[in-house]
Amino acid sequence: MPLNVHPDIAALSPYVPGKPIEELQREMGLARVIKLASNENPLGPSPKALAAIGEGAATLHRYPDGGAFRLREALAGRWKVTPDHVILGNGSDEILGLLARTFLAPGDEAVMADHTFVIYKMEVMAAHGKAVTVPLTQWRHDLPAMADAITARTRLLFVCNPNNPTGTMVSADEVGRLMARVPEHVIVVFDEAYFEYVRSAAFPESMAYVTRGRNVIVLRTFSKIYGLAGLRIGYGVTTPEITDYLNRVRPPFNANSIAQRAALAALSDDEHVARSRAVNAAGMEQVGQGLRALGFAPIPSEANFIYVDIGRDGRQVFEALLRQGIIVRHIEGRMIRVTIGQAEENQAFLTALARVLQAG
């Protein structure tokens, strides 16, 4: 019998993640592989989180605290809100899915950039919504054009800040002008997965819109600077009304017990965060300069990755780098995205890239 699949679902393609290290080792018989593909923390997890993970093993026969009392309280304290403003996800990815399923009826619209985190479109389509994409201008979100794209059917508007894959940001002033134009029936999603890496003083304080009662959700994650991508834990800070609706759709044990413990410990590990920021800032200089020395013009980034026009077919460069044991990300056309690693990893990437270019 033919499957009866809704055309919105049939139109989706599976998300293509960064290639796992072990997969490349298997395929190419390489001993050493450097992965600069998924914006992971090259220093590894917070040591405090690792200790907490060990301690959590003994109670794995119990279900997690579905309300995640301790972690939500800690996050609320950190962001000066009450715990009913905080929702956890199995990665912040899951919260994107919850938002789509909770707030989109079939045919409702979600406004997003045309060149941004691909999960937005996936989740909107899976919820039978309509993704309305707005071109970037000079690799940045065009917030006035995004405001223009709002209609009576719009329910969600995604601002990825800094943007993945470009690394660019929009400023507090720009966001202020956007928020002045967003009507109440639209929830603005500020996806700030790279927040802790941002160095610009002009970065918006998006949480202030939440505390002022605007229909806004700020998404953060433990996958990036905290180094816990494998555990799958992220969070949203939003109004108690929005958390209440999201909680009706959220699977009860979506944040597992080890992840809750590890995140709580990582949140207080200021030293690991500071070291990670410093390593990233130095690596950003190193890779930026290295790319410029090779004749490229990398796009200035506020995150932990660099987006660059590599001047020739990006897929071929990506594949040639794979053969040298370096995993980056080919995004489209001539564009590749490289995550900032530790100094020797960055150097290995630059050396391999120079070799690839020389080989033609």
Where does this chain touch ligand PLP (CB under 6 A) — which range of 90-98, 272-280, 319-327, 335-343? 90-98
In whole angstroms, the minimum distance from the beta carbon of 176 to ligand PLP comes to 22
Q: 208 Cβ partners below 8 Å, 6+ apart?
A: none
In whole angstroms, the minimum distance from the beta carbon of 164 to ligand PLP comes to 4
Q: 315 Cβ partners below 8 Å, 6+ apart?
A: 330
| Interacting positions 4-43 with ligand PLP (CB under 6 A) | 39
Question: Count residues contacting ligand PLP (CB under 6 A)?
Answer: 14
Binding flags for ligand PLP, 220-249, as an x/- string (CB under 6 A): -x-xx----x----x---------------
Using Cβ positions, the residue closest to ligand PLP within the complex turns out to be 91
93 binds ligand PLP (CB under 6 A): yes
Binding flags for ligand PLP, 185-224, as an x/- string (CB under 6 A): ------x-x---------------------------x-xx
Inter-axis angle of helices 21-28 and 314-323, nearest 10: 70
254 binds ligand PLP (CB under 6 A): no
Q: In the set 56, 64, 83, 91, which binds ligand PLP (CB under 6 A)? A: 91
Closest Cα to residue 153, out of 189, 124, 110? 110
Smaller CB separation from ligand PLP, 92 or 102: 92
Q: In the set 103, 117, 190, 203, which binds ligand PLP (CB under 6 A)? A: 117
Distance (Å, rounded) from C-alpha 127 to C-alpha 100? 6
In whole angstroms, the minimum distance from the beta carbon of 123 to ligand PLP comes to 11
Smaller CB separation from ligand PLP, 97 or 283: 97
Smaller CB separation from ligand PLP, 124 or 356: 124
Entry field: residues in the chain: 360
In whole angstroms, the minimum distance from the beta carbon of 191 to ligand PLP comes to 5
Smaller CB separation from ligand PLP, 117 or 349: 117
Smaller CB separation from ligand PLP, 94 or 109: 94
Smaller CB separation from ligand PLP, 273 or 356: 273
Alpha helices for the chain (secondary structure H): 7-10, 21-28, 47-56, 69-79, 92-103, 119-126, 143-148, 172-181, 207-211, 240-249, 257-267, 270-293, 314-323, 343-358
CA separation (Å) from 16 to 38, 109, 319? 11, 24, 15
Smaller CB separation from ligand PLP, 305 or 318: 305
In whole angstroms, the minimum distance from the beta carbon of 61 to ligand PLP comes to 26
* C-beta of residue 215 within 8 angstroms of C-beta of residue 239: yes
Distance (Å, rounded) from C-alpha 157 to C-alpha 103? 12
Distance (Å, rounded) from C-alpha 97 to C-alpha 234? 13
Smaller CB separation from ligand PLP, 100 or 193: 193
Helix (H, G, I), strand (E, B) or coil at 62: coil
Q: Which long-range contacts (CB under 8 A, 24 or more apart) does 196-200 make?
A: 196/224, 196/225, 196/226, 196/273, 196/276, 196/277, 197/162, 197/224, 197/225, 197/277, 197/280, 197/302, 197/303, 197/304, 198/162, 198/169, 198/302, 198/303, 199/281, 199/302, 200/169, 200/171, 200/302
Which tokens is 318 given?
């990506």
335 binds ligand PLP (CB under 6 A): no
* Interacting residue ranges for ligand PLP, rule: CB under 6 A: 39, 91-93, 117, 160, 164, 191, 193, 221, 223-224, 229, 234
